[in-house]
Structure 1
Amino acid sequence: MVEEQEIFEKVKESIVEALGVDEEEVTPTATLFEDLGAESLDLLDIVFRLEKAFGIKIPRGGIQQDIIAAEGMKEDEVLVDGALTALGAQKLRERMPEVDAARIYEGFRVDDIPTLFTVQTFVNIVKRVLEEQPRGH
């Protein structure tokens, strides 16, 4: 099993390469958009680099689809008109413990979820995908 520190180092390297930022700026709590200046297209670049570095496939469709699938819920239980319900906010806080819980609230726009992403978010995503992979891959 890949250790979290090893995952962090590869995530950091991918972010440094994709965004052209200094290594010192890439800390677990750094937000991709606010702290590191990422734009939407940069996320695709980062995901591509992570898939290549780890030999994995990161599902598209975002964390919101991940929550719905993982919890076995109907979409309208967690989302209404593109915004989180109270239950949706609770589930997102559980799925993204690295994010300040006060930033995730009922009515939060699903399209804004990427603005919450930290370096640790990507570490957690990679870790989850690696854990879900069948052994021997």
Structure 2
Amino acid sequence: MKEIVKIFVIILSISFFGCTEDTVLPTDVDPVDKFLGTWDVSDNALKINYEVKIVKSTSNSSMVILNNFADSGDAAEGLVVGNSIVISYQEVGQSWYVNGNGTYTSASRLDFNYSLDIGGSQENRKAVFSH
């Protein structure tokens, strides 16, 4: 009987010491942060290059402001949903209207597909944001 108790104690001890603490993932990472910063944009429609600065919205923690979106000189608002920025139909600049979305593909690249309407003339555009 003593042998069984010793074996049980040894097995129990090994099982406790063999456990490791689970890795705890940080929960305080803001999903908006990966989009922030100044991005170099290559817009395929007109083969133009410009910069867009993305900052956090002060009114909604899930929103970002895209300054100079579509090289408009003005800002668009976007909603961050996972790895995407959703830009609902809105006016940017004088009589410029945009809507579309951008996808975070890496720390140095965002791919945007959007529609631009200037004075009734609509274009579908693709733009690559990099930094």
| Same fold, judged at TM 0.5 (above) | no
TM-score (norm 1): 0.24
Q: Greater strand share, 1 or 2? A: 2
Length-normalised TM-score, structure 2? 0.25
Relative to its length, the structure with more helix (as a share) is: 1
